[in-house]
């Protein structure tokens, strides 16, 4: 069971939780970006898209902040349903003069990159048809990084209106992490059933379930010997992986016990564990 274990092939990233200094400012920023408020209090805001109960981003205020570089978030990647939606979004960002850091074609996707006001990385992207992906015989899904056809993306937008929000069916397509050690991190994610799908030399590795190009990216671009993430660090607190059935969750619990992975919470529909970088990974059932 251990050697051949694969995570639920319908698994996906559910939500990302960030610890922030200025809740109002960050909430307003992400609403301008395209999210909508699902629930709000003085200490927490849940943001998502119309038609879905699944929060995509959860913002929480934090006191006693430690200001340092630590393991954690590289970027949260919002996956849009189509190229038209990416065009609508790019046009909105330009009209609203929201700073953009760059845009790339990765072979399997087209992506826009930016940062929120507290330095949390963001990717907004659309997938190309899977028939266009470079899937190798050994299972590798090879990515590239070239300039995105920004003119073509803009031309694909809704020419009749300025679209203010992300469309329904927008999800968190993947999360990219800054990690302490690539080998230890790979060992953890393969133990919990993810497949290694690609790697860039000794700098970055990518993991997925169910044949996706990647649900989780990991890199050491911030340098080696980062401290582990702590409760006092700004930025990433946790992220969730959504499973399709209680059977998948129960099977995962057995695997977690076999490997002696640190469990933070074990409830009927949630299993929360700590990865080697101090990042909480929450496995939960689909809403």
Is the pLDDT confidence value at 55 over 50?
yes
Fold for the domain defined by 12-285: 2,3-Dihydroxybiphenyl 1,2-Dioxygenase; domain 1 (3.10.180)
CA dist 43 and 41 (Å) reads 5
CA dist 47 and 58 (Å) reads 6
Average pLDDT score over the chain:
95
Residue 225's pLDDT band, with cuts at 50, 70 and 90, is confident
Q: What is the pLDDT of residue 4?
A: 81
pLDDT in tens, 245-269: 999 999 999 999 999 999 999 998 9
Q: Which residue has the higher pLDDT, 202 or 3?
A: 202
Question: Mean of the pLDDT values across residues 198-218?
Answer: 96
Q: What is the pLDDT of residue 3?
A: 53
Question: Mean of the pLDDT values across residues 4-12?
Answer: 95
Residue 90: name the closest of 69, 114, 67, 72 by CA: 114
Written as six digits, the tokens of 130 are: 């899977």
Question: Mean of the pLDDT values across residues 49-78?
Answer: 92
pLDDT in tens, 119-136: 999 999 999 999 999 999
Is the pLDDT confidence value at 53 over 60?
yes
pLDDT in tens, 12-21: 999 999 999 9
Is the pLDDT confidence value at 67 over 80?
no
pLDDT in tens, 148-174: 999 999 999 999 999 999 999 999 999
User: What ranges do the domains of the chain cover?
Assistant: 12-285
| Long-range pairs of 218-223 with CB within 8 A, sequence gap ≥ 24 | 218/176, 218/177, 218/179, 218/182, 218/185, 218/186, 218/189, 219/74, 219/176, 219/177, 219/178, 219/179, 219/182, 220/178, 220/179, 220/180, 220/181, 220/182, 221/74, 221/178, 222/69, 222/178, 223/69
Is the pLDDT confidence value at 1 over 90?
no
Q: Are strands 171-178 and 216-219 parallel, antiparallel or unpaired?
A: parallel
> How many Å is the maximal CA-CA distance in the chain?
56
């Amino acid at each position: 069971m251990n050697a051949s274990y694969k995570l639920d092939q319908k698994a996906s990233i559910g939500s990302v939780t960030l610890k922030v200094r200025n809740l109002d400012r960050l909430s307003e920023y992400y609403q301008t970006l395209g999210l909508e408020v699902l629930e709000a209090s003085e200490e927490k805001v849940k943001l998502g898209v119309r038609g879905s109960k699944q929060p995509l981003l959860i913002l929480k205020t934090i006191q006693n902040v430690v200001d340092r570089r630590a393991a954690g978030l590289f970027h949260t990647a919002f996956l849009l349903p189509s190229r038209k939606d990416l065009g609508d979004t790019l046009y909105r960002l330009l009209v609203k003069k929201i700073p953009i850091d760059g845009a790339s074609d990765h072979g399997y996707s087209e992506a826009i990159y930016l940062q929120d006001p507290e330095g949390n990385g963001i990717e907004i992207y659309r997938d190309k048809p899977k028939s266009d992906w470079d899937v190798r015989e050994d299972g590798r899904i090879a990515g590239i990084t070239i300039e995105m056809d920004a003119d073509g993306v803009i031309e694909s937008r809704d020419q009749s209106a300025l679209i203010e929000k992300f469309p329904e069916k927008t999800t968190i397509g993947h999360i990219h992490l800054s990690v302490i050690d690539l080998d230890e991190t790979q060992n953890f994610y393969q133990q919990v059933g993810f497949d290694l799908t690609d790697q860039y030399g000794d700098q970055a590795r990518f993991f997925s379930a169910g044949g996706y190009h990647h649900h989780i990216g990991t890199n050491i671009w911030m340098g080696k010997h980062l401290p582990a993430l702590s409760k006092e660090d700004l930025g990433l607190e946790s992220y969730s992986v959504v499973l399709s059935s209680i059977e998948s969750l129960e099977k995962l619990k057995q695997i977690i016990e076999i490997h002696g992975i640190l469990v933070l919470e074990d409830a009927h529909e949630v299993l929360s564990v700590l990865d080697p970088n101090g990042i909480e990974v929450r496995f939960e059932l689909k809403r």
